[in-house]
Amino acid sequence: MEYPFEKIEKKWQNIWAEKKIFDAEDFSEKPKYYVLSMFPYPSGALHMGHVSNYSIADAISRYKMMQGFNVMQPMGYDSFGLPAENYAIEHNSHPRITTDENINIMRNQFDSIGFGLDWEREVSTCHSDYYRWGQWLFKKMYEKGLVYKKTSFVNWCESCQTVLANEQVEDGKCWRCETVVRQKELEQWFFKITEYAEELLDFSKVIEWPERVKTMQTNWIGKSFGTEMWFKLEDSDDIIKVFTTRPDTIFGCTFMAVPPEHPLMMKWLEKADSEIKKFCDKVMNEDKITRTAEETTKEGMFTGRYALNPVNGEKVQIWVTNYVLMDYGTGAVMAVPAHDQRDFEFAKKYDIPIKIVIQNPEKSLVLKEMTKAYIEPGILVNSAQFDGMESVASQKAITDWMVQQKTGKHTITYRLRDWGISRQRYWGTPIPIVYCEKCGTVLVPDEDLPVKLPEDVQLGKTTQNPLLSVPEWINTTCPQCGGTARRETDTMDTFVDSSWYFARYADAKNDKIPFDKEKADFWLPVDQYIGGIEHAVMHLMYARFFHKFMRDIGLVSSDEPFARLLTQGMVTKDGAKMSKSKGNTVDPQYIIDRYGADTVRVFMLFASPPDKDSEWSDEGVKGSFRFLNRVWRLFEENLELIKENSAAKEREEAQSIFAEIKELRFSTHFTIKKVLNDIEDRMQFNTAIAAIMEHLNNIYSITETDKLNDTEKAVFAEACTVIPRLLYFFAPHISEELWKLMEREELVHEAGIPEFNKEFLKKDEVTYVVQIMGKVRGKMEVPINTSQEEIKKLALEIENVKKYMEGKEIKKIIVVPKKLVSIVAK
RNA sequence: GCGAAAGUGGUGGAAUUGGUAGACGCGCUGGAUUUAGGAUCCAGUGGGAGAAAUCCUGUAGGGGUUCGAGUCCCCUCUUUCGCACCA
């Protein structure tokens, strides 16, 4: 017989909803705890990744509820974006309709799994009551000087007349029409995230973030100390600035590499010969993906021009290449082939001179014998007055000297670039800007917000931005002079919408401001944030940037949005990520219908630690179902005994208890300790569930319950009653039902976290493992308070140990308390 | 190419601080029960030798540190995630 999960789950979901136990209370007396999982994109159906993510969040949330916290676990939808636009075109519908439909489906699915969500705070980024505040924040940022416009290159399909996202470029071609993608220069809006680079490097204000995420963000920001050097041109007064982290190699600079996009290059191109023009054209039209692909060979052409090395006046060839990028550093590289591998390969290919300026102190370098660049530190040679200096020490000396000579300066460079937020698409937050013929670029005034996305657009008729097809929306009046003006038709990157939603949950219905400061300060920072590792850098850094910006304009007081971060792994099947194209998806709804929500949750949490990928297994789900059935049967078969004895106190001395029952009592208290420790300190739910399974096995090992005396019955009952309270975090429905069967009045979380008694965890004896030269040769049980000397003696008396020690001399005996004895012998 | 992780039985995984490798679950084998299927219960299950005690071997591969290494260090391979060729 299967336990009646269907009836139980519906019943408790209704009770929870009626009692509003998941409604978080602003300014409550109880300490707050804010649990947030990254909100989903409303694709129309939950996938296993969602179930895994939200099962983790719900386990933490219910644990905190049981501890007496005022828990907030909100939910919303990241509902703008390209996929919705494409989906609507495919289904000849409108993204507004399909998105809202999808949201309704997903909301029902969340409820059918019984997640403890506070629906009063639901947000959807595509609704104007949400995105108007995104526009408001854009304006604030603009007013603060953190928004600007500049040209940058985008992937452009000539035939579709549209900008393509990187993911829409396949093998350098448009995914729809297979036209070769070109690079086109467009005016775009940028957020000055680089202003916050230094603060974003500082993680001292977060409580617990995975090291790997901090490292990835730190590397992404890429702070480097170096030298900026100014190269004069041979035949003009123009100067080329280069940035280098290796000023010690400057005397070995034999050429300079610039990208076609470099301003000087653009200038020269007018007069350049056709070969160079052709080359530049080719490089610039390579889409970013091809240009950054590993197979792409480093290519270049000599421009015929020279710069002068600022330290010795030597002529340096200027090459235009495909491997230097305009947007990092100064957009030009001083090339030192002898001491940089990429420069070395390039110089060899094009027969450019190579000059050794750092000698290997171990083995002198000989130019003709070099097969690769020497990049390690060494001793300077061919470097004028710096000859003989150690290369690392010379970096400061050379730069100091260049500062004196006014040919360079110390500088700090970040790899991080400003955030381009313009998207030439329909389904996104409109940028609240109008262009007036007289006044120029004008912000839309607060009272005119939101700038609503027009609903009546032509989707799919043309491939270009559908907003261009709505003249009545584009054409407007200038809020300053009342003259004719045009609206900005770019919309914002959806990462903007997801960069502040966590704060909106604190006050989701506010229609006067983005959110009330007091409420935001009450709830923020998010105590526990949970989401995929794929967001380690971009989303998580954009959100930190926004939070710091919001702090700086007085909207919030905290420094970081997310105090603790848990990055969960993917759900795989047959070793690969579940995806429709691979055909290896599993529909959670089917599994819920067949085995119940509790089973699915237990399986997802039991399959692997939350931060690791987990492999889906149909058989494994059955195992979780079997476990819950075993729990159910235990209560069914022993209900009277449990009910009658669960409130009973210990009636006799512990010593008088039958040994097996004493072990059961140990198991009860050990399990409590283990489960709480796994959740609180380790966030490892798989071992917590395993511990409950083990405890259940221990209970089942007591077979003749009718022969127990009163004390023993109390111990047995206690062993059972602990289960619903520990299982509640993972399988809340069945736990509530069992609790109710025991005629408890309160809900499980109101009963509080079970406590363990240290007294019952004490053991009289411990097992020592005896090793000789690292190999296990025996085991022994000794009373817990045996002295070290005694333990050594006992270890040497073990038969097997004696055998191995024959003819050997004891050099040392190491005793690890309560664990092992290691004998070092010769 | 760059950055970040991971690799343990047939399988998902456990081993929390360098201290008995394989907890717990799945699968499999044998048995009990059942008209059958299913469900349930009991026993076994890394590989090799042995009747057994026990021994040898084993955590992607190679090397090192240590009384002792899945765990720490170096190199290699493979897989996954992110990306903006980061000088």
Residues A183 and A245 in one domain: no
Question: In this structure, is residue A529 part of a structural domain?
Answer: yes
Q: Which domain holds residue A801?
A: 765-825
Higher pLDDT, A224 or A518: A518
Residues A621 and A712 in one domain: yes
- Of A494, A518, A536, the residue that ends a domain is A494
Query: What does the pLDDT look like over A331-353, one tens digit per residue?
Result: 888 889 888 877 888 888 888 88
Query: Is it the case that residue A291 has pLDDT exceeding 50?
Result: yes
Residue A573 pairs in a beta bridge with A576
Scanning A411-523, the segments in alpha helix (DSSP H) are: 471-474, 494-497, 501-504, 517-523
Residues A91 and A72 in one domain: yes
For residue A296, the model assigns a pLDDT of 58
Residues A503 and A487 in one domain: no
A464-478 mean pLDDT: 87
Provide, in whole angstroms, the distance separating residue A201's CA from nucleotide B15's C1'. Answer: 35
Nucleotides of B under 7 A from a protein CB: 1, 3-5, 11-16, 19-21, 23-27, 39-42, 54-56, 67-69, 80-87
Which CATH number covers residue A675? Answer: 1.10.730.10
Residues A399 and A429 in one domain: no
Query: What does the pLDDT look like over A27-43, one tens digit per residue?
Result: 999 999 999 999 999 98
Provide, in whole angstroms, the distance separating residue A609's CA from nucleotide B23's C1'. Answer: 15
Residues A808 and A776 in one domain: yes
- Pick out the nucleotide with least CA–C1' distance to A621: B26
Query: Is it the case that residue A236 has pLDDT exceeding 80?
Result: yes
A563-567 mean pLDDT: 94
- Pick out the nucleotide with least CA–C1' distance to A799: B53
Pick the range with the lowest mean pLDDT from A159-173, A415-429, A440-454, A617-631.
A159-173
The Cβ of residue A149 has, within 10 Å, a number of other Cβ atoms equal to: 14
Question: In this structure, is residue A11 part of a structural domain?
Answer: no
- Of A413, A431, A464, the residue that ends a domain is A413
For residue A226, the model assigns a pLDDT of 87
For residue A651, the model assigns a pLDDT of 46
Residues A786 and A711 in one domain: no
Higher pLDDT, A604 or A85: A604
Q: Report residue A152's pLDDT band, with 50, 70 and 90 as the boundaries.
A: confident
Provide, in whole angstroms, the distance separating residue A570's CA from nucleotide B60's C1'. Answer: 22
Question: In this structure, is residue A20 part of a structural domain?
Answer: no
Residues A326 and A368 in one domain: yes
Residues A181 and A62 in one domain: no
Query: What does the pLDDT look like over A398-455, one tens digit per residue?
Result: 999 999 999 999 988 888 989 989 988 899 999 999 999 999 999 999 999 899 999 8
Which CATH number covers residue A284? Answer: 3.90.740.10
Question: In this structure, is residue A98 part of a structural domain?
Answer: yes
Residue A302 pairs in a beta bridge with A319
Question: In this structure, is residue A17 part of a structural domain?
Answer: no
Instruction: Look up the protein residue whose alpha carbon has the minimum distance to the C1' of B24.
Output: A690
For residue A657, the model assigns a pLDDT of 65
For residue A84, the model assigns a pLDDT of 87
Q: What's chain A's average pLDDT?
A: 88
Query: Is it the case that residue A670 has pLDDT exceeding 90?
Result: yes
Query: Which range in A246-250, A612-616, A728-732, A803-807 is most confidently predicted, on average pLDDT?
Result: A728-732
For residue A2, the model assigns a pLDDT of 86
- Pick out the nucleotide with least CA–C1' distance to A336: B87
Question: In this structure, is residue A327 part of a structural domain?
Answer: yes
Which residues does A557 contact at the CB level (< 8 Å), separation at least 6? A517, A521, A551
Which CATH number covers residue A774? Answer: 3.10.20.590
Residues A236 and A301 in one domain: yes
Cβ burial, residue A806 (10 Å; 0-12/13-18/19+): exposed
For residue A676, the model assigns a pLDDT of 96
Tally of domains in chain A: 5
Distance of CA A456 to the CA centre of its chain: 37
Residues A243 and A391 in one domain: yes
Question: In this structure, is residue A604 part of a structural domain?
Answer: no
Nearest one of A778, A789, A781 to A765, comparing CA atoms: A781
Question: In this structure, is residue A131 part of a structural domain?
Answer: no
Which CATH number covers residue A551? Answer: 3.40.50.620
CB A420 within 8 A of CB A153: no
- Of A761, A779, A800, the residue that ends a domain is A761
Query: Is it the case that residue A194 has pLDDT exceeding 90?
Result: yes
Query: Is it the case that residue A189 has pLDDT exceeding 90?
Result: yes
Q: Report residue A461's pLDDT band, with 50, 70 and 90 as the boundaries.
A: low
For residue A656, the model assigns a pLDDT of 55
Residues A508 and A543 in one domain: yes
As for the ipTM of the complex, it is 0.93
